[in-house]
Amino acid sequence: MTPSPVAAAPATGWELDTKGGADRIKAAGLPVLNMEGAAEHFHAHLDVFVDGKPVAVPADIGFSFSSTGQPNGISALHTHDESGIVHIEAPVAGDTYTLGQLLTEWGVLDGSGKPGTARSGTSGWSVAVNGAKQHGPAQAVVLKAHDEVVLFYGTAPEPLPTAFKFPAGL
């Protein structure tokens, strides 16, 4: 008996395209490193919502991959899994990392799609940090240690996340 095929989840546009990772890291103004930086190490958390519905933040944002799919480079700003935890593991202490850089590495909100989609621009999107709505462009939000960053379009999530419980050691 052969197993029945598993249906792939429908594409949403928010998936990470592993091709071009190094180019997106560079487009974010960051170098492609051969290992995580050790001069500064902290974490923030990102939630994304469209009309109150959550969007998964994918694993491997900020990584470059070889043609065989093996990781061959990393940015100081990256994700390891779909928890929404953003790792900042920098080779130089004191540099600033922004939500815009992470979105560039992810390859979303590039302005090529209709409003509220993965490819829309950041116009119409709102950002809250630790429960406080931010004024100004979403991409300018600076990521800081243990911040809860909520990026949303349309109806805000209810309740609006104000904090994230980081695992021990993070």
66-79 pLDDT, tens digit each: 999 999 999 999 99
Burial of 123 (0-12, 13-18, 19+ CB in 10 A): exposed
Q: What is the pLDDT of residue 2?
A: 37
Q: Say yes or no to pLDDT of 105 above 50.
A: yes
Each residue's pLDDT tens digit, 108-144 = 998 888 989 999 988 899 999 999 999 999 999 999 9
Pairing of strands 40-50, 132-133: unpaired
User: pTM score > 0.85 for this model?
Assistant: yes
Q: What is the pLDDT of residue 4?
A: 41
Q: What is the pLDDT of residue 10?
A: 59
Which is nearest to 28 in space by CA: 139, 113, 126? 139
Q: What is the pLDDT of residue 3?
A: 41
Q: How confident is the model at residue 61 (pLDDT cuts 50, 70, 90)?
A: very high
Domain boundaries, the chain: 21-153
Dig out the tokens for 23 from the structure: 């180019």
Go through 18-47 and write b for each residue having 16 or more CB atoms within 10 A of its CB, e for each that does not: eeebbebbeebebebbeeebeebebbbbbb
Helices (H) and strands (E) in the chain, counts: 2, 9
